[in-house]
Structure 1
Amino acid sequence: MRIGLTGGIAAGKTTVARRFGDLGIPVIDYDDLARRAVARGSGVLREIVSVFGPEALGTDGELDRVWMAGHVFGPGSGADARVRLDSIVHPEVFRMALDREASLDDPRLVVHDVPLLAEVIGTIPFRFDHIITVEAPASVRVSRMMTSRGMSEEQARDRIASQPSGRSRRAIADIVIDSTLPLPDMMDLVDSLAAQWAAECPPRHPLRHTVWTGSATDADGNV
């Protein structure tokens, strides 16, 4: 069973993904795959440089993420740069996701953590059995980004505006998790979903029983 997990920046998706992992369910992190896809010397990075120019490459041979973010998300960047970048990176990320699935000892229940799922759903070459979106009001997300990531309010709102809307995420999801719920309640909801899916698709090994004791953010400020 393949589960899609999505949510806007600072909406709480990382907390939900971590909980699935704590329960022993494999989680494929598309942000991690994207970083690997553009690693130094990769074909994807070479194509990015050929399209966007040598400025996209740092002096260390790695992708210059600051330059790239400014070029794609900055004022006056326009949608075309984002579309071109996505058309280079996304096909490789999808291929890597399928490879990761194939390498699992027991791939019968897998969570795909896809931040921009609403934006790419039409281009993913496989289907999901269920899609979860984790949501929170924009004001809550802005506050989280200002606190944990050191962003200004304007920067935080610009990042939210650059992503698919909550409405578009809810339109593709059959499950919506409100991350403003008390955290134990949110964890109980995730546990219930995991148990239900495990019963529908019994894994070779039972889910680990884990008592949540952590916080809503990790060391990097992700939620």
Structure 2
Amino acid sequence: MEPIPETSEAVDEFGPFEPDLLERLQDKARHVRELVPACVGLSLASREHGVTFTVVATDEEIAALDGAQYLDSGPCVESVKAEQVLEYTADDFFQESSWQLFALSTAAAGISSTLTLPILKEAQVVGSVNLYAASPQAFTGHHEGIAEIFHAWAPAAVANADLGFATRGTAQQAPQILREVTRIKVAVGVLVESQGLTLEAAEQQLSQAARRAGVSEAALAERIISGSAYAEREEE
């Protein structure tokens, strides 16, 4: 699997957040594919950075998977034969519920099942991993194995919550999110230097000022940075 362009951009421009993040993510994806050959994508969400990174199957991998569907008369083929969307029942998944039915109605092309697992570190949830597959029961029986790959918690696994592959859209926002985070940090630095504040006090001041002004912290940060640059030019 390969990273989507925005994931590569986010890591290249603002990383590395962790050593060899992309390489390790792709390595984990390879291990997942060994367990679940029908897996066509996965998204790793970082709670610390507030962003999501996504890798997806290449065109060649998708073509090979499509070929396997035709050879094996898989779900995509059966759906075409019936000229209708196949119905998913409680037997297909853990339990039928309203969010699953909604997910099915907005499913992304080629996504027939998903698996979401929380990632733990010292008993604290630090992120999550969402996996996407092109066959309905691809992840059945593999929760523990996948959890081991990502140091996730298998008992909290949720099936088919994101058949629309929404995390890919979230991952596409990563560069902008990280750009704003970077500018906020610069603005906090300006406040620390110009007003003699501690880092914590400067962060709090920026947050409170933005809230009172009814603007985002990122927008206020840009004003602070612009004002500081103007003041420096005036002094020259």
Task: Give the shorter-chain TM-score range.
Answer: under 0.3
Q: TM-score, normalised by structure 1?
A: 0.28
Q: Larger Cα Rg: Structure 1 or Structure 2?
A: 2
Instruction: Name the structure, 1 or 2, with higher relative contact order (CA <8 Å, separation 6+).
Output: 1
TM-score (norm 2): 0.27
